[in-house]
Structure 1
Amino acid sequence: MARGIRLVRRYPVVALTLAIGLVGIVLALAGAGWLVAWIFSVYALAVAAWQAVGMVRDILRGHWGLDILAVTAIVATVVVGEYVAALIVVLMLTGGEALEDYAGRRAKRELDALLTRAPQHAHRVVDDHFVDVPVDEVEPGDVLLVRPSEIVPVDGELRSAEASVDESSITGESVPVEKRAGDGLLSGSVNGLAAIEITATARAADSQYQQIVALVAEAAASKAPVVRLADRYAVPFTAFSLLLAGFAWWISGDPVRFAEVLVLATPCPLLIAAPVAFIGGMSRAARNGVIVKGGGVLEQLARARTAVFDKTGTLTHGSPELVAVRPEAGFDADELLGLVASAEQYSSHVLAESMIDAARERGIRLQEAAAAREAATNGVVARIGGREVVVGKFAFVAEHAPETRRTGIAPGELAVYVAVDGTYAGALLARDRLRGNAAATLARLDELGVRHTMMLTGDAQATADHIAAELGIERVRAECLPADKVQEVAGIADRPVIMVGDGVNDAPVLAAADVGIAMGARGATAASESASAVILVDDVSRTAKAVEIGRDTVRIALQSIWIGIAVSIALMLVATFGVIPATVGALLQEVVDLITILAALRAIGGRRDARAGADAAERQRTAASAR
């Protein structure tokens, strides 16, 4: 009952039309058919006038829409006395809008789910008890309790010994993730069966889930260019329909035939198909961990011909691993690595974590520094165990140890030099590993029609060439500044161009590309703000998935439009010869609308993604059993 009342309030004109129809049936059974004709005709003309006002306003703004067909069909059926058909056309017109709204709500389920699940409160630890506070009041450093099955309210670090969390709404990963003390937790993930404590590392507005919500809201408010393309069919479709209806009247000499053709020429397939399909495509993308900022982005993805990639953090992991230790001056490998890792504890460079992890894996105990300072982009100087340890670039270390000499490196490697008490102590070599699925992603893009690839990076030419050769990338531009990347993308002839990057320095080129994709940016960086789409997980293969979803969405949108047009035209041609009465034709057009909506809803892609997920799970189980 309550649901019925909500539907009446949401779609009052549809409810009124149905009510008038029921009243007409009662009056007809009571023998007052003449009154039914008047009620139906007056109501239909009133709706036609209401639609005509909006139609005229659109025409004055230069937009020729499809409402002229519906208005003409209503007036024509009333004039020739087909008042039942007139009411059905009114129901079709208003009901089509209601069906579009309902279908849109159905298609937006995954997008809306993100919005409605946003955490509202947090349990803050205060003097050995818990106080419920609005999530916006949580500050970094606050200790929070997360009860079983509750949503993690803000980004944080696990204080409890262990936890199992469901990150599927954030990363798309369906398997619960095991966490240990000190591991990071994303807001929006769902706690497992045991209560845990976390330390907040970000305010709510800066946390993962809330940033995703902001991107979703931006995406849901857009309109796709293909929808406007559907509007452009209005003039030829309207002209064809009116000419065919006029022809039917001319050959028959009966004005009723004009009305019989027009009731089958109503525009709902064009009005409904594209919006529903694109909302469904955006919903599918969100379910696969990609927030697309508008249906127009899906259309560009569908037509993309060139893909450009940043290297570090996109095609590679962005976290180099140690591959060799080359000690000098009497140092052994473990001693040198221990000194480097101890010094790197005081550095913010991306290599620091790699050195520290390598030392811990070898069981080397790290020492505290009596003093330490970092020279930005060059290296770090630390006093460890009474010795001065200098770690960093060749030129920086050579300033402290003049006899420092360069070591040989292979393509794709980089060297970290070390001096101890003014003496050159050796070098450590590291390599940024390629992502395991990078080559497969490029191959999949080629299958999807993205034939050309390019890599833009600030790294050295030799390193860039080595990575490009491994992946089969056509063009490479190394040692790029952000402005160089923008210039390169602007000069590409095969468009649309996709640019995939992950760092703040990629923000300008992401904005300049036809489609900028921020990979793993988690909604909070300048890259994600500039991008047209944001991949929420650290997985470059989602780039190909986004292109696949774009192609599927555009294909389904256009298929749905043409299915509706084809069926309508076929029925109109039949009606030209007087085979389909006006009332029956109006009912058949409702069937056309339903077919169009069902066709467009295929863009949600639930079954396709479910099959893909089942295949992936089976591969994981096979791999696990093999181990």
Structure 2
Amino acid sequence: MRFFRLLWRYPAITATVIVFIGVLVLHAVDAAVVGRWIATAYVSVFVVWTLIGMVRDVLRGHVGLDILAVVAMVATLAVGEYIASLIIVLMLSGGEALEDFAGRRAKRDLSALLDRSPRIAHVLLPSHAADSDEVRDVPVDEVAVGDVLLVRPSEIVPVDGLLLTETGTFDESSLTGESMPVTRESGGEVLSGAINGSRAARIQAVRLSSDSQYQQIVALVHAAEDSHAPVVRLADRFAIPFTAVSLVLAGTAWAISGDATRFAEVLVLATPCPLLIAAPVAFLGGLSRAAKAGVIMKGGAVIEQIARIRSAAFDKTGTLTQGRPELVDVRPANGFDSDEILQLAASAEQYSTHVLADSIRRAAAARELLLHGAYEAREEATNGVVAEIEGRQVVVGKPAYVASLAPDTVRATLEVSEAAAYVAVDGRFAGVLVLADHPRPEAAAVISWLRTHEVDRVAMLTGDVSSTAESVAHQVGISEIHAELLPHEKVHLAAELQPRPVMMVGDGVNDAPVLAAADVGVAMGAKGATAAGQAADVVILVDSLAKLVDAVSIGRHTLRVALTAIWIGIGLSIGLMIVAMTGVIPAVVGALVQELVDLATILYALRALSAPSTVLPAPPSPER
């Protein structure tokens, strides 16, 4: 049954094999003339079909390599080498099947992500959610926020949720690359796509399916699959020179020997499958290898760009730092009480998405301060939040912005790794909330690795104040600092950075414009779907900056493999053509040998699946 499905999937191969066998049989029973006419008619139809495809490609602005195959088929027919012409047809039609096979092998990790996507959720009935496993199975898209779900042993968690059972063990390797199972306590977040351990668990859905972590990864994988790799462009760089060299060699052989057969014998060794198949397979392998490492690249063009980066720019909060600042000090001013300004600031920060806002709210909750609702609230992008709380106007934000509304604002003196949120109430400076957000432990090693691997310029682009930016940059080894930037200023600076291409790494909503504007935008997407993840070319699924090194390494390895595969194909073809100019390789043998060349280049292209692991160096001590 499977055999017949294969025959149906590739009708051109099936027809060519039937004709080829028929012609061989006719040749064996002394009916070679009939076989020759059948082969000539079949190959002629195939040539016309190929020419139609070539015209369509030309109308789309793409001049490819099929001209070599067409000339080779016509030449072999013209000199009576109809068996060789059938082998060329078989090679070209079989190229589709070969590419499918190699492509499936190269995409295995991407496909594994798609195949594991949860489709069904077990929703516990409301009246039984606390004490029973009575469930109603629903499509995962119908799960609502707040639903209580049962996840049975070894099942995939369908949506992001909070663990309700006391403890649970989950395999998050498909999300984070971490091979060891992780244990979550009651109230901890469990991400969709994780595999439950040996005990059933109850979770409460906190996000819809479309917003959950695994579904976002699947969406990114689909985007990566649907986008076109630069394979066509990469092959086209070699297409015209290779075609010209092949025709010159074949024409020279004909002119020297005076035998038109020599032209066909040379040209059958110039078929373009190594260029048309090997490079796409390499890029698919690179995408798959990156996905396995916890990095989603949105297409082959991204691989080519990230492999060539010469400048890198980083946001600070959540990128170079851990992104979870903790309140370390409250410095009231003008007679305000520390609990009072923290309560007012946290009440206002309920309406902000900034990472410091979450930290301030958590600090107020830890002190058991009651938060008030706002009569009116608005967030001033990158500057702060303004809210009317209990009849008072509360402003929380950057010092320059707060000072524009409260002229008596006094800048605070901060220690290394500290950040500050300034608070004003009714136009008066109320105090400063001091938070500490330490650099990621791997950040300095990542910066050091980039500097020693052909990245000539590393800069920090951040909206944070200069003192905080400088302290973090000093610790991770960045000397070029651009602080207190608005989003459009980040975009402008990224556009001016030299040398190119430029890679920008960030994680926040405010980073989305500059990620989209950079040659390669990299989003730290481990903490959920953000505008940054949608705008970026590369999304790191693991909460570790070290994966940036993996992304660059995989990109460079993949591009190197693709180019090497192309050069192997070109080198072997030209070498064999030069040998064929002497007349020692008959056309039929040459066509068969070219199949081996194709196989060699494709097998080499699959090396993109085995990108070497990268070990980060010990970070250098920061200069004092």
**Against the structure 1 CA distance between its residues 42 and 487, is the aligned structure 2 distance closer, same or farther, given a 3 Å change threshold?**
same
Q: Which segment is superposed worse, 564-573 or 111-120?
A: 111-120
Instruction: Please state how far the C-alpha of 1:328 moved relative to its aligned partner.
Output: 11
Distance in 2 (alpha carbons) for counterparts of 1:152 and 1:464: 39
**Against the structure 1 CA distance between its residues 299 and 397, is the aligned structure 2 distance closer, same or farther, given a 3 Å change threshold?**
closer
1:108 corresponding residue in structure 2: 107
1:48 corresponding residue in structure 2: 47
Q: TM (normalized to structure 1)?
A: 0.86
| Paired AA for residue 184 in structure 1 | E
Instruction: Please state how far the C-alpha of 1:136 moved relative to its aligned partner.
Output: 1.2
Q: What do the CA deviations read for 1:252-280 (whole angstroms, capped 9, x no partner)? A: 11111111001101111111121111111
Distance in 2 (alpha carbons) for counterparts of 1:85 and 1:592: 16
2:600 corresponding residue in structure 1: 595
Q: Which segment is superposed worse, 100-109 or 31-40?
A: 31-40
CA contact (8 A) 1:309 1:500 kept: yes
Distance in 2 (alpha carbons) for counterparts of 1:416 and 1:68: 66
Query: Cα RMSD between the aligned structures?
Result: 3.5
Q: Which segment is superposed worse, 49-58 or 557-566?
A: 49-58
| Paired AA for residue 64 in structure 1 | V
Distance in 1 (alpha carbons) for counterparts of 2:147 and 2:398: 42
CA contact (8 A) 1:412 1:432 kept: yes
CA contact (8 A) 1:448 1:547 kept: no
What does 1:422-571 align with in structure 2 at a 5 Å threshold? 429-520=434-525, 524-571=529-576
CA contact (8 A) 1:124 1:132 kept: yes
| Paired AA for residue 72 in structure 2 | A
**Against the structure 1 CA distance between its residues 520 and 563, is the aligned structure 2 distance closer, same or farther, given a 3 Å change threshold?**
same
**Against the structure 1 CA distance between its residues 414 and 522, is the aligned structure 2 distance closer, same or farther, given a 3 Å change threshold?**
closer
Q: Alignment partner for residue 265 of structure 2, among 247, 251, 260?
A: 260
Distance in 2 (alpha carbons) for counterparts of 1:357 and 1:338: 15
Instruction: Please state how far the C-alpha of 1:403 moved relative to its aligned partner.
Output: 12
Q: Alignment partner for residue 206 of structure 2, among 193, 196, 201?
A: 201
Q: Residue 569 of structure 1 aligns to a residue in which SS?
A: helix
Distance in 2 (alpha carbons) for counterparts of 1:56 and 1:326: 74
Structure 1 position 160 matched with structure 2 position 160? no
Q: Residue 118 of structure 1 aligns to a residue in which SS?
A: coil
**Against the structure 1 CA distance between its residues 345 and 171, is the aligned structure 2 distance closer, same or farther, given a 3 Å change threshold?**
farther
Q: Residue 233 of structure 1 aligns to a residue in which SS?
A: helix
1:622 corresponding residue in structure 2: none
What does 1:339-488 align with in structure 2 at a 5 Å threshold? 348=350, 350-351=355-356, 354=359, 366-367=367-368, 369=370, 377=384, 408-415=413-420, 429-488=434-493
CA contact (8 A) 1:223 1:295 kept: yes
* Unaligned runs of at least 5 residues, structure 2: 129-133, 619-624
Q: Alignment partner for residue 152 of structure 2, among 147, 151, 154?
A: 147
CA contact (8 A) 1:322 1:430 kept: yes
Q: Which segment is superposed worse, 236-245 or 157-166?
A: 236-245
CA contact (8 A) 2:347 2:373 kept: no
Q: What do the CA deviations read for 1:46-93 (whole angstroms, capped 9, x no partner)? A: 212211222233335443221111111111112211121111111111
CA contact (8 A) 1:343 1:382 kept: no
CA contact (8 A) 2:12 2:93 kept: yes
Structure 1 position 305 matched with structure 2 position 306? no
CA contact (8 A) 1:522 1:534 kept: no
Q: Residue 16 of structure 2 aligns to a residue in which SS?
A: helix
2:177 corresponding residue in structure 1: 172
CA contact (8 A) 2:297 2:303 kept: yes
Instruction: Please state how far the C-alpha of 1:581 moved relative to its aligned partner.
Output: 0.7
2:56 corresponding residue in structure 1: 57
Distance in 1 (alpha carbons) for counterparts of 2:371 and 2:308: 59
Q: TM (normalized to structure 2)?
A: 0.86
**Against the structure 1 CA distance between its residues 393 and 11, is the aligned structure 2 distance closer, same or farther, given a 3 Å change threshold?**
closer
| Paired AA for residue 414 in structure 2 | I
Q: What do the CA deviations read for 1:394-431 (whole angstroms, capped 9, x no partner)? A: 99999xx9999876432432357899xxxx99976431
Instruction: Please state how far the C-alpha of 1:483 moved relative to its aligned partner.
Output: 0.8
Q: Residue 132 of structure 1 aligns to a residue in which SS?
A: strand
CA contact (8 A) 1:168 1:189 kept: yes
**Against the structure 1 CA distance between its residues 579 and 323, is the aligned structure 2 distance closer, same or farther, given a 3 Å change threshold?**
same
1:625 corresponding residue in structure 2: none
CA contact (8 A) 2:151 2:202 kept: yes
Distance in 1 (alpha carbons) for counterparts of 2:208 and 2:419: 37
1:185 corresponding residue in structure 2: 190
What does 1:318-329 align with in structure 2 at a 5 Å threshold? 318-323=323-328
CA contact (8 A) 1:343 1:381 kept: no
Q: What do the CA deviations read for 1:453-484 (whole angstroms, capped 9, x no partner)? A: 11011111111112222222131111101011
Q: Residue 517 of structure 1 aligns to a residue in which SS?
A: strand
CA contact (8 A) 1:342 1:369 kept: no
2:120 corresponding residue in structure 1: 121
**Against the structure 1 CA distance between its residues 147 and 445, is the aligned structure 2 distance closer, same or farther, given a 3 Å change threshold?**
same
CA contact (8 A) 1:502 1:521 kept: no
CA contact (8 A) 1:18 1:91 kept: yes
**Against the structure 1 CA distance between its residues 56 and 402, is the aligned structure 2 distance closer, same or farther, given a 3 Å change threshold?**
closer
2:590 corresponding residue in structure 1: 585
Q: Which segment is superposed worse, 551-560 or 343-352?
A: 343-352
Q: What do the CA deviations read for 1:289-315 (whole angstroms, capped 9, x no partner)? A: 111111111111011110000001100
Instruction: Please state how far the C-alpha of 1:134 moved relative to its aligned partner.
Output: 1.1
1:283 corresponding residue in structure 2: 288
CA contact (8 A) 2:348 2:386 kept: no
Aligned residues: 596
**Against the structure 1 CA distance between its residues 599 and 404, is the aligned structure 2 distance closer, same or farther, given a 3 Å change threshold?**
closer
1:82 corresponding residue in structure 2: 81
2:622 corresponding residue in structure 1: none
1:22 corresponding residue in structure 2: 21
Q: Which segment is superposed worse, 317-326 or 189-198?
A: 317-326
Instruction: Please state how far the C-alpha of 1:232 moved relative to its aligned partner.
Output: 3.2
Instruction: Please state how far the C-alpha of 1:372 moved relative to its aligned partner.
Output: 6.7
Distance in 2 (alpha carbons) for counterparts of 1:392 and 1:54: 63
Distance in 1 (alpha carbons) for counterparts of 2:421 and 2:512: 29
Instruction: Please state how far the C-alpha of 1:589 moved relative to its aligned partner.
Output: 0.1
Q: Residue 459 of structure 1 aligns to a residue in which SS?
A: coil
* Unaligned runs of at least 5 residues, structure 1: 620-627
Q: Residue 119 of structure 1 aligns to a residue in which SS?
A: coil
**Against the structure 1 CA distance between its residues 392 and 83, is the aligned structure 2 distance closer, same or farther, given a 3 Å change threshold?**
closer
